[in-house]
Structure 1
Amino acid sequence: MRLKRYGLRFLIACCLSTGAFAQKTALLCKRLIDGTGKIVQNAAIVIEADRIIAVGSKDIIPKDASVIDLGDFTVLPGLIDAHVHPFIDKDDYQIDHLRRSSAQKALEGLKIMQDLLQAGWTTLRIAGDADVAYAQFDIRNAINKGLFTGPHIYGAGHYISVTGGGGDINFTSYEQPIIADGLIANGPDEMRKAVREEIKHGSDWIKIMVTGAFMTVGDNPQDVHFSSEELTAVMEEANRRHRPVMAHAHATEGIKMAVRAGVRSIEHASYIDEEGIDLMLKNGTYLIPTLSVDLFFQEKYFNSKALAKAVQLGKHEKDENTKSKMLSLAIRKGVKIGLGTDNVGFPATFPAREFAELIKLGMTPMQAIQAGTKVNAELLGKEKDLGTIEAGKLADIIAVKGDPLTDITELQQVKFVMIGGKVVKSDN
């Protein structure tokens, strides 16, 4: 009997340590937009540990579950931003990149990511960032160890650029031996090495600057910067190591080159044409149009000298309306479009304006919500864990007071946030 008692105590201790007796929690809400396209009225969501175990009506709630009643609120999956730069938060970001240490960027970047989590963004894909090291992965690793609460983080350490490209610093004198904010590589061999360096230091995506950029001095976004040989080398190396590639591509031909090479996503696509759209459809390439960044520049940085080029190009793009017409066509044709903001210092509630911009292009509110949940989870290859509220998924859940299907701006006012079954925000 004594051995049996000791054995029982040992079993209980093991169960507690592994979470086998974890507390169940039930969320109640007036309306559930589950990410799959369904709307469930008067829904209940049952959570155990960090996972959803059941979704349905109130009669599914176990007797031993604690209940969080969200009343008339609308519940949705946690939001996913597929294009962020947490270390870029100044208009003169390339100079600011030289002012701040990697350690300082890590501390400030953690605060930015936590603020985004509070605004409902439970997952971020970093599209490279302005840091000589890999501070974003130090943040990710600390969050994953439980040292801090923060969003799920995926992405690239740096944007790989050619000399004189959008990731290089092109406004200093020849004599100045500075380290650019991007990872500079030229020729197939250097491209292979750059991919290997990124993977070695924690990148689960590879980011390449196939064309010029809007924000940098000394390059033209309508120019193609990568040769076909360089692009092939990147793709071969990334594929060998099972890392997807995201391609910064504004120029028409650069978009097509990147799609033909097999990148998983095209970022920006400012000068895409119908042939490029059809190529994306044929190859199943995702498109991340990053619309709200132009709004941010026009509203905050309209007098900025550092971003004069970006502001002017964005204004011209808006006046010409060509990008909007092409993106609307891409939506109608069925290109897989995810939500990415190109967040470069936005206030935490600003990124949700991307939903309204997608709706202006012709998406329904439900499609726009799915772009920032289900579609982005599929882009990341994390659809088994993220993007919808279904049994088996991680309990990444947000709630808003009203109905975002009738007023999409509700997503700018998230009142409740849960990540991995842990409540991190609960207003009202």
Structure 2
Amino acid sequence: MATLFTNARIFDGFQKTLIDGLQVLEVDGIIREVSPSPTAPEGTLIIDCGGRTLTPGLIDAHVHVIANSVDLSAGKFWPSFVFTQARYIMEGMLQRGFTTVRDGGGADTGLVQAVEQGFIAGPRLVISGLALSQTGGHGDMRSVLLGPGEKTNNKVGSSIARIADGISEVREAARDELRKGAHFIKVMASGGAASVTDPIENLQYSDEELRAIVEEARAWNTYVMAHAYTPRSIAAVVKAGGRTIEHGNLIDEPTADLMRREGAYLVPTLVASDILTQFADKYGFSTNSMRKISQVRDQGLTGLSIARKAGVRIGFGTDLLGIDLHEYQGEEFTLRAKVEDPAETLMSATSVNAQMMMMDGCIGVIRPNAYADILIVDGDPTTDASVFTKRGDNIKLIMKHGKIFKNQL
């Protein structure tokens, strides 16, 4: 099977401006040729894009596809119900143009296989398994009424994380998640907004524990993703060898310089706190939770600006929770447009995310030998940050790995 896209203006994932005069040939799920006149096999499907914009499929590098509720406490819903809603969430993501997503806690190998085998019409799923959290950390949402030594089954502290303390336990936990199919390891390195008992300013995990987790990830030829808001927690992760910092809202100039020097990536998730603030009354957040959410929301754009100025490599994520809130995924583009060029955000959501996820050349680009993840959209997303905020209405064609999931051309 082959498809030839003609009459399109191309965003290739790297250049800030659109490219005219090229056609894109897909063969068996791979981009075979990008040139003025590709040599198409007999029987190729020809799609005239009508002068619209052709882009790589988008990548969201921070999602929780099982987060059907803003309450992440473990055991709130039947697993069958959670995974059924995960299908709904993932299929919505693909229809909004996200052909690859990186799950930062909760999704398992079964969901990965369900997508790969076509049972879920969702984005390619890259997972951490359960995130690692210390006792009392961002992933420990157990009741404070538990007695000493009393733990939930298998030390599961929430629907997205497991508890591991000390060097031997974190090594075992990292190895176990990798054994079960995790593509990388997620660690909770600071306090968080969604958890009740830990202040944002908390530093979580010792330097020795963080280094042990990074060592285990590297032994599997992969990397560590870290939840971290504050300069102190970000610096601890980066010095230990962590590759990606999630959120980073409270980052300062010296810490941003450290990230740049060490080659670490930042994944802002501005829309998460922005939307939770808007829906605070509906979800009944406590005063303490709202204080934390507002704290990180108010500093998010400042943190992004500091990182951009320092030259930090910046990815794209959303971190949305609750089945009703995932549809605001595209709002991350418009929020970031307040402090950066829409083309920079689009590069973050394509080629930069691909590099960060160690999938450089496979996704996030319109180049030969990459997976044929292709969108045809109305408008120019390199200049208009609202193109992807229409819940997918502006997207006229969605192709993932050569298979067309939407075609209105």
Same fold at TM > 0.5: yes
Indicate if the aligned counterparts of 1:155 and 1:203 stay in contact, CA closer than 8 A: yes
Match of 2:199 in 1: 220
Query: Distance between the aligned counterparts of 2:216 and 2:362, measured in 1?
Result: 27
Question: 1:152-176 deviations in whole A, cap 9, x for unaligned?
Answer: 1112111110111110124441257
**Is 1:426 aligned to residue 407 of structure 2?**
yes
Query: In structure 1, what is the Cα distance between the partners aligned to 2:239 and 2:196?
Result: 28
Residue identity matched to 2:398:
V
Taking the aligned partners of 1:191 and 1:406, their CA distance within structure 2 comes to 45
Provide, for residues 311-335 of structure 1, a one-character-per-residue CA deviation record: whole Å limited to 9, x for no partner: 322324455x4x4333212112210
- Check 1:59–1:146 CA distance in 2 against 1; reply closer, same or farther (3 A cut): closer
Higher relative helix content:
1
CA distance in 2 between counterparts of 1:310 and 1:415 reads 40
1:11-40 deviation line (CA, Å, top 9, x unaligned): xxxxxxxxxxxx321112431111121522
- TM-score, normalised via structure 1 length: 0.87
Matched, 1:153 2:147: no
Letter in 2 for 1:142: A
Per-residue CA deviation, residues 201-222 of structure 1 (Å, 9 max, x unaligned), is 1111100001111111111110
| 8 Å CA contact retained: 2:72, 2:141 | no
1:261 corresponds to: 240
> Do the aligned partners of 1:211 and 1:222 also contact (CA within 8 Å) in 2?
yes
TM-score relative to the length of structure 2: 0.91
SS in 1 for 2:26: strand
Q: Secondary structure at the match of 2:227?
A: strand
Q: Give the structure 2 partner of residue 13 of structure 1.
A: none
Counterpart in the other structure of 1:39: 18
Unaligned residue ranges in structure 2 (runs of 5+): none
* Greater gyration radius: 1
Other structure's SS at 1:153 match: strand
Per the TM alignment, residue 348 of structure 1 is displaced from its structure 2 partner at its CA by 4.9
- Equivalent position of 1:239 in the other structure: 218
Aligned to 1:395: 372
**1: CA distance, partners of 2:113 / 2:357:** 18
Task: State whether residues 29 and 74 of structure 1, in contact with CA within 8 Å, keep that contact through their aligned partners in structure 2.
Answer: no
- Give the conservation status (yes or no) of the 8 Å contact 2:128–2:177: yes
Contact kept, 8 Å, 2:68 with 2:321, in 1: the verdict is: yes
Superposed CA offset, 1:351-379 (max 9, x none)? 11112222222x21211100000000001
Does residue 305 in structure 1 map to residue 277 in structure 2?
no
Q: Which amino acid aligns with 2:124?
A: H
Distance 1:215 1:399 in 2: 36
Residue 398 of structure 2 corresponds to residue 417 of structure 1: yes
The one-letter code of the counterpart of 1:417 is: I
For 1:163, the equivalent position in structure 2 comes to 135
- In structure 2, distance between residues paired with 1:308 and 1:74: 45
Q: Secondary structure at the match of 2:19?
A: strand
Alpha-carbon distance, 1:260 to partner: 0.5
Map of 1:281 onto structure 2: 260
1:248 to 2:220 alignment: no
Counterpart check, 1:141 vs 2:120: no
Residue number in structure 1 paired with 2:352 = 375
> Relative to structure 1, is the Cα distance of residues 307 and 388 closer, same or farther in structure 2, using a 3 angstrom cutoff?
farther
Q: Secondary structure at the match of 2:245?
A: strand
Cα 1:305/1:348, change in 2 over 3 Å:
closer
Q: How many correspondences in the alignment?
A: 396
Compared CA separation, residues 353 and 141, structure 1 to 2 (3 A): same
**For residue 120 of structure 1, what is the aligned residue in structure 2?**
97
Of 146, 162, 168, which aligns to 1:174?
Answer: 146
Pick aligned residue for 1:86 from 53, 56, 65: 65
Percent identical among aligned pairs is 32
**8 Å contact from structure 2 (residues 313, 352) kept in 1:** yes
For residues 22 and 293 of structure 2, the distance between their equivalents in structure 1, rounded to whole angstroms, comes to 43
Cα distance in 2, alignment partners of residues 418 and 30 from structure 1:
15
TM-superposed deviation, 1:270: 2.2
